[in-house]
Structure 1
């Protein structure tokens, strides 16, 4: 028998074998565990900020971005973020793990601002920061 016929028969046998395998069934465990795996940490803390803590020469009209280690419960942000010295009203919100804030008007030149996240801000899993957490930056 020629070699190509042997390979042809071998390939047919292989694919016939695959057709006989049972189809996998959905598992409730996969549905329950998958959302937990998408988080980057079992702790709820600040992962990074823009501007970075201690940054200088920051624009007078910055977009402040705070990335958390878990998705944020947006309703917990109400009155739980502050800025000192007094910033113009901070507008924004959260999407998944990212909190985005923009001052309603320009910040003051050469001023060091401190953004504080209150300990009561929660992740979607009910974890809180546990302690007030701050970072600072200085404008141009």
Structure 2
């Protein structure tokens, strides 16, 4: 009889203990830091562009997209992107690894434009391009 009482008491204690174990929850690190980690390369360079380098027959009102190998520090874009010959103002910005630019007015037909990213553009990991990097396209 004493044995059953001991087993019952131990069972209750085990069940009570299991009920009191806290359930795991996401850590602050996983919620705030991990989504920012978007480094896909050990170097910081242009991965791709639209229009592509050397493209012809590009619309006079293109949306220019530049995908980088790492997330971009948005404040480093200020005055670090240029267009030649002189483009209408380019509006846009960056989101994670992508820079999106749109001319405020139509480009000129039959002109080859060169977009240059200054060497000082920086990734969120502190890397810079290191050299000015350009790509060109020709409008319709």
TM-score range, shorter chain: 0.7 to 0.9
- 1:115 is aligned to 115
Matched residue, 1:126: 126
Deviation at 1:38, TM superposition (A): 3.2
Residue 39 (structure 2) aligns with: 39
Report the Cα offset of residue 42 of structure 1: 1.4
Q: CA deviation at 1:125?
A: 1.1
- How many pairs were matched up? 122
Distance verdict in 2 for CA 1:78–1:29, change over 3 Å: closer
Q: Which runs of 5+ in 1 are unaligned?
A: 1-18
Runs of 4+ in 1 over 2 A off after TM superposition: 23-38
Change (3 A) 1:104 1:37: closer
**Does residue 103 of structure 2 align to residue 106 of structure 1?**
no
Between the aligned partners of 1:72 and 1:38, the Cα distance in structure 2 is 10
Q: Conserved in 1, the CA contact under 8 Å of 2:38 and 2:71?
A: no
Q: Deviations over 1:38-78 (max 9, x none)?
A: 32111110000000000000000000000001111111000
Q: What TM-score, normalized by structure 2, do the two folds share? A: 0.76
Partner of 1:56: 56
User: What is the distance in 2 between the residues matched to 1:27 and 1:88?
Assistant: 47
Q: Deviations over 1:56-107 (max 9, x none)?
A: 0000000000000111111100000000000000101001000000001000
1:83-102 paired onto structure 2 within 5 Å? 83-102=83-102
Which one has a bigger Cα radius of gyration?
2
Give yes or no for contact 2:50–2:65 (8 Å, CA) kept in 1: yes
Shift of 1:25: 8.9
Query: Gaps spanning 5+ residues in structure 2: where?
Result: 1-17
CA RMSD of aligned residues (A): 2.4
